[in-house]
Amino acid sequence: MVRHAIVALVGLCLIAGSLLAADKEVKGKVVKVDAAKKVLTVKTDEGNKEYTVGADTKFVGPKGGVSKEGIKDERLVPGAEVKLVIAGNNKTVREVHLPAKKK
């Protein structure tokens, strides 16, 4: 009985761990921003990729502050270097790490 409980607990931990590890980081340059469709096109090592920005996507500055403008942030322009945290579906953006503001 105890053995079954331990096996179930280990299995549950493995499943939970794989779900948490499903997010991945992508670095690249912004190619296009479509605020109306809420889509970012980013040039990565694998070529141009389109990612969907949701209502819960966080836009984070280099010092950790969160942008209130979201996809309309002035730093999100073609050529900007960004880091994205992508959800397990490989399309939805959880976080966009923005570059520093230009003076």
Provide the mean pLDDT of the chain: 86
13: in domain: no
pLDDT score, position 14:
58
Q: Average pLDDT for residues 23-51, to the nearest whole number?
A: 94
69: in domain: yes
Q: What is the domain count for the chain?
A: 1
Largest CA distance in the chain: 66
Give phi and psi for 90, each to the nearest 5: 70, 15
Domain with 28, as residue range(s), is: 23-97
pLDDT score, position 68:
93
User: Does residue 84 contact residue 42 with C-beta atoms inside 8 Å?
Assistant: yes
**pLDDT band at residue 74, thresholds of 50, 70 and 90?**
very high
pLDDT score, position 17:
54
Q: Which residue did the predictor score with more confidence, 3 or 47? A: 47
7: in domain: no
92: in domain: yes
CATH code for the domain in which residue 74 is found = 2.40.50.320
User: Does residue 86 contact residue 53 with C-beta atoms inside 8 Å?
Assistant: no
Give phi and psi for 4, each to the nearest 5: -65, -40
